[in-house]
């Protein structure tokens, strides 16, 4: 029993040390550590629970220290942050991964209608899914669209909008960056949109897949360079959480995670299957310029997909 207690406490402590040391920054270790670190919130909860259940003092103390240390990096996502004062237009966005086009077109369209969304970001979009969405009435609600269906279905992406869209390849973003568009809002205000879908860093023994995931996250653009530039909204399936060093580097560019700003940064958005199983990981995000105020964030089940749809209501900075 003593050995089992120490094995449990030691395993939790090793996971905690991996996160606290940001071991996924090492190119030699990232293929294994990146999938592991996605479960950091679960490790923190398990460590705190283990500190209560383990009967031996040494293992219990080890688990407690691990749980407290991980809670210090996890819990800020559940705490709301101050909002900037802004008087710009309200922008309602939804992002959803359609699982190779299998998500219910009626469910997607119904969510857009209920939330009054202005922009819809879709990942893993396919030609048949585009047709089903049109039949479900999506383009009646969001008549402007920009899609990129080249390559495998898992790489298909689309942006649907209530207001005019123009493709924006000339913004200086690398080609590896995601589908981009400029949104022309009423009153002359604009916003730059990026539909993100980083390739999953799996299987955990594939350094090549992990390196591709890292390079695509590294290619994402920074927020607007000045108050005169349109604010930028990056939304989609990042296949990354705040516990990944690569995603934290994206945030350090100046982006704000909309969910975390409202204290909802721990709400999971992905589960192991589209059959009603619990969501486990928070890997779908809406990132906004720091000058944007976040008014609401919600996560909704999406029949047919293993991802949840993320809705965010934003107030953009005033135009200058």
What ranges make up the beta strands (E) of the chain? Answer: 90-97, 119-123, 144-148, 157-161, 165-167, 179-184, 190-197, 232-237, 256-257, 284-288, 293-300, 309-315
Contacts of 171 (CB under 8 A, 6+ apart): 180, 192, 221
Angle at which helices 2-20 and 40-53 pack, to 10 degrees? 150
- Helix (H) or strand (E) run with residue 320 in it: none
182-237 tens-digit pLDDT:
999 998 899 999 999 999 987 766 889 999 999 999 999 999 877 778 999 999 99
- Beta carbons within 10 angstroms of residue 103's beta carbon: 26
Q: Which pLDDT band holds residue 274 (cuts at 50, 70, 90)? A: low
Q: How far is CA 93 from CA 61, 172, 179, 311, in A?
A: 45, 24, 16, 6
Give pLDDT, residue 169: 58
Helical segments of 180-257, H only: 207-218, 245-252
Say whether pTM exceeds 0.75: yes
15-70 tens-digit pLDDT:
999 999 999 999 999 999 999 999 999 999 999 998 888 878 888 899 999 999 99
Phi, psi of 288 (to 5 degrees): -130, 165
Across 106-117, b (16+ Cβ under 10 Å) vs e yields bbbbebbeebeb
Which whole number is the average pLDDT over 125-129?
Answer: 96
Q: What average pLDDT is seen over the chain?
A: 91
pLDDT higher than 80, residue 90: yes
| Of 171, 108, 33, 167, residue with least CA distance to 305 | 108
Which whole number is the average pLDDT over 96-113?
Answer: 97
């Amino acid at each position: 029993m003593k050995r089992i207690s120490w094995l449990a406490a030691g395993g939790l402590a090793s996971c905690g040390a991996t996160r606290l040391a940001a071991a996924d920054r090492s190119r030699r270790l990232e293929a294994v550590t990146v999938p592991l670190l996605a479960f950091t919130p679960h490790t923190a909860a398990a460590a705190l629970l283990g500190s209560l259940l383990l009967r031996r003092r040494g293992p219990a103390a080890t688990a407690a220290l691990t749980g407290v240390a991980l809670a210090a990096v996890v819990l800020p996502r559940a705490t709301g942050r101050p909002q900037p004062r802004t008087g710009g237009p309200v922008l309602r966005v939804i992002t959803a991964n359609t699982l190779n086009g299998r998500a219910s077109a009626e469910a997607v369209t119904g969510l857009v209608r209920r939330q009054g969304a202005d922009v819809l970001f879709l990942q893993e979009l396919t030609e048949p899914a585009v047709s089903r969405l049109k039949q479900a009435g999506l383009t009646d609600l969001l008549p402007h669209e920009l899609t990129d269906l080249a390559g495998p279905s898992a790489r298909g992406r689309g942006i649907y909008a209530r207001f005019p869209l123009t493709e924006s390849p000339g913004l200086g973003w690398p080609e590896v960056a995601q589908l981009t568009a400029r949104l022309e809002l009423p009153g002359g205000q604009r916003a730059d949109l990026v539909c993100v879908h980083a390739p999953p860093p799996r299987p955990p023994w594939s350094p090549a897949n992990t390196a591709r995931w890292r390079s695509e996250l590294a290619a994402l653009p920074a927020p607007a360079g000045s108050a005169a530039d349109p604010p930028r909204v990056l939304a989609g399936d990042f296949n990354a959480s705040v516990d990944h060093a690569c995603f934290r580097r994206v945030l350090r560019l100046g982006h704000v995670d909309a969910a975390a700003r409202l204290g909802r940064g721990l709400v999971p958005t992905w589960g192991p299957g589209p059959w009603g199983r619990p969501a486990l990981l928070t890997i779908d995000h809406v990132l906004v310029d720091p000058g944007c105020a976040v008014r609401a964030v919600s996560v909704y089940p999406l029949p047919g997909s293993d991802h949840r749809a993320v809705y965010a209501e934003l107030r953009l900075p005033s135009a200058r």
